[in-house]
A = this chain, B = another copy of it.
């Protein structure tokens, strides 16, 4: 999957990310990955749930993965959890 089909969820209102996901499927994407780290993980789950329940009738959750990433901060290296939710066309 190319990076074009990835939506990175941050601190903006959740509907921004829902719209991004819906737009990618409207543009013909077969799969869209929703990714987030740290506190944005909750919003990534909201994004997937709202997109699926309200907007995307033929799309389904394919896989949910969580992992731990090491990031650089001013205070040195630290670990942060991340999530990746893959949505795909219902076959």
A residues engaging B (CB < 8 A)? 38-42, 45-46, 48-49, 53, 61, 64-68, 79, 81, 83, 85
Contact = CB atoms under 8 A, between A and B. Distances in A.
> In the complex this chain forms, how many copies of it are found?
2
A53 B79 CA distance: 11
13 contacts: A38-B42, A39-B42, A42-B42, A45-B81, A46-B81, A49-B66, A49-B67, A49-B79, A49-B81, A53-B79, A64-B65, A64-B66, A66-B85
A40 B81 CA distance: 13
Contacts of A65: 64
Contacts of A48: 66
A41 to B, nearest CB: 4
A64 B65 CA distance: 7
A39 B14 CA distance: 13
Contacts of A45: 41, 66, 81, 83
